Chain A
Amino acid sequence: KQEVTQIPAALSVPEGENLVLNCSFTDSAIYNLQWFRQDPGKGLTSLLLIQSSQREQTSGRLNASLDKSSGRSTLYIAASQPGDSATYLCAVPNSGNTPLVFGKGTRLSVIA
């Protein structure tokens, strides 16, 4: 059964810093990996989707990498802003026919 772990659970940084969020998964036979953002009390917003054949994806100040063999992904946020404060979730499909399995997320606070 796929298990997803995100480290750290919470992170507080000053505005302007570059930061890295980590995600690890136990079963490397994945089709893709997806990073989401969730604001308090809201739904999830898809940030980046990396296919299993890709090594990384970029969107603006966000860059996500995928290393299937080691079961790891990182989300890099450049020049962080207070508006980046949210919970970031990583998710992968389980092997077989089960859809996305989520980590518990990293709660990010960017201090102005």
Chain B
Amino acid sequence: ETGVTQTPRHLVMGMTNKKSLKCEQHLGHNAMYWYKQSAKKPLELMFVYSLEERVENNSVPSRFSPECPNSSHLFLHLHTLQPEDSALYLCASSLRRDTGELFFGEGSRLTVL
């Protein structure tokens, strides 16, 4: 138990669906992150939030829309995804942005049909 909880753990969606991934951290951290992990590729940073403000968007397509309503919760809204978006989506948090130790959730396995 890392203190970072992701739901759902598995999600299957069609290309026309709209769904959301949720992340919650109970560690009192100030920064939260979304990473994408595809087969045989390094983890790719998608978004960074620091004190609820988005501070980085790593050239992610607009079909992925993050939301951080407070410092404990992070969402990733998904719409009109493509099959190549199928991957493991990992949420992480750290006490400080950029230099703090990173704690990850178990991930949400997304399959786009």
Write the residues of chain A forming the contact surface with B, with a CB cutoff of 8 angstroms: 4, 31-32, 34, 36, 41-46, 49, 89, 91, 93, 97-105
| A89 near B43: Cβ-Cβ < 8 Å | yes
Question: Quick check: is B103 within 8 A (CB to CB) of the other chain?
Answer: yes
By a beta-carbon cutoff of 8 Å, the part of chain B in contact with chain A is 2, 4, 6, 31, 33, 40-43, 45, 48, 55-56, 88, 90, 92, 94, 97-99, 101-107, 109
Q: Using CB atoms, name the residue of chain A closest to B105.
A: A43
Indicate if the CB atoms of B101 and A49 lie closer than 8 Å. yes
Query: Quick check: B102 and A91 within 8 Å, CB to CB?
Result: yes
Q: Which residues of B contact A101 (CB under 8 A)?
A: 42, 45
Which label, helix, strand, loop or mixed, suits the secondary structure of the A interface?
Answer: strand
Determine if B99 and A98 form an interchain contact, defined as CB atoms under 8 angstroms apart: no
* Docked CA distance A49–B101 (Å): 7
The listed residue (B4, B33, B106) touching A99 by CB distance below 8 A is B33
- 13 additional A-B pairs beyond A45-B104, A102-B42, beta carbons within 8 Å, are A42-B106, A42-B107, A43-B105, A43-B107, A45-B2, A46-B2, A46-B101, A46-B102, A93-B98, A97-B56, A97-B97, A99-B48, A100-B45
Residue of A nearest to B108 (CB): A43
A42 to B88, CA, bound (A): 9
Query: Closest approach, in angstroms, between the C-beta of B44 and any C-beta of chain A?
Result: 8
| Closest 3 pairs between A and B when the two form their complex, measured CB to CB | A44-B104, A31-B99, A102-B43
